[in-house]
Amino acid sequence: MADWRSALENAACSWEPAPSLDYADFALGRVAQSTPEVFDMWRDVLQGSSMTYLIPQENYISMTDRAHAERLVTSTCDIPLPEAAQGYTMATVAKAAWAMCLARETNSEDILFLQLVRNRHLALDGIDKMVGCSLNYVPVRVPLRRDWKTRDLLHWLHQQHIHTMTGDTADWPDVVAKSTAWSSDTQFGSVIHYLSAPAAPVYDFPGDTVAQFQLYDEKMAHTCPLVTCIEFPGPTEHSNRQMKIVITSAVGGQDMVDRLLVVFRSLLSEVNTQLDQSVSCILQELRDGDDAIGKTR
């Protein structure tokens, strides 16, 4: 957005737009990336796994009617943007925190969720000027090990991301059908989306034109728990960047979403600052805290 705004402000009136990629050509190029080797790769990654659900799977399926927008609940907060652990991005840190959050909620050690990605990295001329959706969902599999430290978890996620990037154009139904033995109607358990592109709530353009950034409209695009992390400039020119965390869900209710936000926010800090801490110890401390709260009620 910042680059776009700068380009508009400094552009001459006679500028001509650069050629863009036709969306149909993008779609064909994207499909061509999904080779048999890609599905072999996903088969290796997903072998022996199953989707991690925060509530029983049948409840997910029964609550996926997008006409019932009143079921969608939201919990959100703004925090100072943490500095990512050395050698990693905040997107990797966020995935680690979400994996641990799911492990804590479900008492599972083999975690599987989806990551929302963009397919604008394809080597297609004009793709950066293309108008149209390029989003896709790719699996993130985290087999938590009892001897892992936080830095081991980050390393695992980083290496898996590198390993699976060549297959991030494969559509979810095709991954399920060609790389797993799961039922064809397997639903997403949860999704994480980390948006690191510069964003601001309001942009002022020449001619007193104001553009407002809106994260959601009235359409319920996701019914499963969705974690969205967005980086924003601080409130003043010299202040630090901020992160907005938004968790939405049409399953589980407001109490679950509020709890997920509290735990996820806490784990973002733990993952960044406790690299030599045992993952098992961090999860046990969270569970002990739950037990202590339960006894006081």
- 272 vs 15, higher pLDDT: 272
Q: What is the pLDDT of residue 210?
A: 67
Tens digit of pLDDT for each residue in 228-262? 999 887 766 666 888 999 999 988 899 999 999 99
Average pLDDT over residues 162-190: 92
Q: What is the pTM of this model?
A: 0.82
- Does 14 have pLDDT greater than 50? no
Question: What is the pLDDT, as a whole number, of residue 232?
Answer: 82
* pLDDT at position 13: 47
Q: What is the 3-state secondary structure (H, E, C) of 103-138?
A: HHHHCCCEEEEEEEEECCCCCCCCHHHCCCCCEEEE
Share of the chain above pLDDT 70, in %: 68
How does residue 166 score in pLDDT terms, banded at 50, 70 and 90?
Answer: confident
Check pLDDT > 70 for residue 46: yes
Q: Scanning the structure block, which residue is given the tokens 């943490």? A: 82
Provide the mean pLDDT of the chain. Answer: 82
pLDDT in tens, 177-213: 999 999 998 989 999 999 876 555 565 666 666 666 5
Please give the structure tokens belonging to residue 296.
């006081």
Residue scoring higher pLDDT (72 or 149)? 149
**Which domains does the chain carry?**
25-296 (3.30.559.30)
